[in-house]
A and B are shown apart, each in its own frame.
Chain A
């Protein structure tokens, strides 16, 4: 009896294991055609607001918002498997190139009329959504870095208008564990603003590496003197904690820092980015556009349901609702006619900043560039290596690694 039980159990387990290897059908029922799964990695408040708006605007489509912590890697694994992949994903525009090259994305213009998009969205957001001449994203909102200051230490009249004024303020105030200004100085995303302010770049829109260009070298040489008056660590937690605990008077941070600082009782000010004296261009950070991308399978097999969701996402109510919970600037122009949005200092600061921001490159090569640029910044700012030599070495390394991507 025991043997028989063991035998049956063995066969049952074996069958269960092998069941997973079975082929899966691709034909959809009506119910499945009317269900749209959206992966996202946003905080609960954003996903709830999005879910509520979609329920209201498209009651006849079942929209399932699923949180994925490692969304980008998960998509690489299952992007072409209709049973495992989502129908859409809500994410920043900078990964569009990777998925477009992988062949899992459908151009958004296959589902929405291009003229309608152009007429309703902020121009810059559509520039960000384009890859090799095709639009792959429906922009929903955008975010960029802001110059934030603590009014308790830095009154409005002392806010620096230029980088030299900022440096003078840092020299005066940085002492005894207090800092005049802090930022994530050795992170590519943050340093890019200084590089762009000198006319340099990490990578241009055509995929050319710009790490050793004279403009980039000059920017990093200039930036280095500011780093000397900042703490050794440049990671997110240290920089933000210093600012939120009142040990740093000003910082460059994202909108996510605004709500946390205000919740902590800080009298927070938001100012335009300081203008670089040498070039007369303000520090010009990257802009990230958050939006929806549609996977090919869904575009081909759930066309009607996907279209309904996309058109719903273009309604100003969605942008207004998301601006309220995220503090980010809506991509749909009509949202700015709303009083609540127009009176939100963070949203409006970001809207104004959009003129001086550069959309993050959405090319696949950026996966390499983030690491190489960060290494270069660490070598310059933290290991004290020569700027020109570090830039030249990073340029060579980046070009070699990009060659290896092919």
Chain B
């Protein structure tokens, strides 16, 4: 083959590749545009609003005011914010640990050999997912924790104990919020771990059994390493969802007109009470952008670990 032929071949391959790439971008354009509109644009727009004086008094006639809102916003990050940040980290850690352990145990039980009505149990365990979170949370609040009509206090009274205000004290409110969050989050984690468990090659367990490994050893040396890469993305997603949790804690303890007396705050409920109620969108956007940066740093920290391990 001549040199010129090879060159023209390379050129035509490059052309084809270029045309292919362009076509791929064109076909992805609607999705990319939607992602830009729904995800990227709001972030940039919030960033822009945070540099303006948009508030009730300058709703449609706002001006750029530089970093003034950020100077104000940093004042929100006082000792109250720091304790809210600490509680958010504790909340995330406790919830993740409980979710992983509970979901693993339930998924393992679902995978027990010879289990009858397996699909029925799966459907039941997925049930909390089918209900809107808002409804679930309020059902727990009035149906379970209410000191006058709640099921828990009816049991307490039947057993001869005096009624308890479950959501009035910080510690018991934290435990109640954790239980409700567990109820809401378990279906997702069970589904993922259940799927992951089914993908583990049975032959590993057979070899381990021949070597005399007990249940704990099989779990520690075979199951966990095998399912870790599969469940890792879900764990990361759940960590974020839990970290930026607002509805469970707000609706159970701080809903307007239904506050319970507990003072547990995540960074979002704290920012809501100390910034968002002001109707000052410039200022609230600055607070949001700072929280966004905190989340990005947190995300970077979490993503670092698997890389180091790999």
Contacts and interface: CB of A to CB of B under 8 A. Distances in A.
A26 interface: no
A186 B165 CA distance: 15
Given A371-B256, A378-B259, A406-B55, A231 B148 contact: yes
B9 interface: no
B257 A242 contact: no
B200 to A, nearest CB: 39
A76 B273 CA distance: 19
A103 B273 CA distance: 26
A321 B34 CA distance: 49
B280 A405 contact: yes
Contacts of B56: 98, 101-102, 364, 405
A233 B26 contact: no
Given A80-B60, A101-B57, A382 B147 contact: no
B148 A184 contact: no
B277 A367 contact: yes
B257 A184 contact: yes
A406 B142 CA distance: 38
Interface string B113-156: 00000000000000000000000000000100011110000000
B283 A241 contact: no
Contact of B278 (A76, A241, A401): A401
A374 B27 CA distance: 53
Interface string A315-359: 000000000000000000000000000000000000000000000
Interface residues of A, number: 45
A234 B167 CA distance: 12
B29 A14 contact: yes
Interface string B54-74: 011101110000000000100
Nearest to B37: A17
A6 interface: yes
Contact of B274 (A13, A104, A401): A401
Nearest to B57: A101
A404 B72 contact: yes
B306 interface: no
Interface in A35-88: 76, 79-80
Contact of B279 (A98, A247, A375): A98
B59 A103 contact: yes
A233 B277 contact: no
B278 A368 contact: yes
B277 A10 contact: no
A3 B275 CA distance: 51
Interface string B259-295: 1110100000000011101111001000000000000
Contacts of A241: 148-149
A370 interface: yes
A374 B277 contact: no
Interface residues of B, number: 38
Contacts of B37: 17
Contacts, number: 110
Contacts of B60: 80, 102-103
B147 A232 contact: yes
A187 B257 contact: yes
At the interface, is chain B mostly helix, strand, loop or mixed?
Answer: loop
Nearest to B53: A406
Given A7-B26, A401-B278, A383 B57 contact: no
B33 interface: yes
Nearest to B163: A232
Contact of B148 (A242, A375, A382): A242
Contact of B146 (A238, A383, A406): A238
Interface string A127-145: 0000000000000000000
B29 A383 contact: no
Contacts of A402: 278
A267 interface: no
A256 interface: no
A104 B29 CA distance: 38
A251 to B, nearest CB: 14
A404 B278 contact: yes
Contacts of A242: 148
A101 B59 CA distance: 8
A237 interface: yes
A364 B279 contact: yes
Contacts of B29: 10, 14
A367 B34 contact: no
A10 B146 contact: no
Contacts of B273: 371, 375
A383 B262 CA distance: 8
Among A3, A241, A370, A404, which residue has the most Cβ atoms of chain B within 10 A? A404
B261 A14 contact: no
Nearest to A20: B37
Contact of A383 (B142, B147, B256, B263): B263
Contact of B34 (A17, A80, A189, A378): A17
Contacts of B261: 232, 378, 382-383
A233 B262 CA distance: 12
B146 A233 contact: yes
Given A232-B168, A241-B148, 4 more contacts: A14-B30, A401-B278, A402-B278, A405-B280
* A-B complex: 10 closest residue pairs judged by Cβ atoms: A382-B261, A235-B258, A13-B30, A102-B59, A232-B165, A378-B259, A405-B278, A364-B56, A404-B278, A101-B56
6 contacts: A102-B59, A104-B59, A237-B142, A375-B273, A378-B259, A401-B274
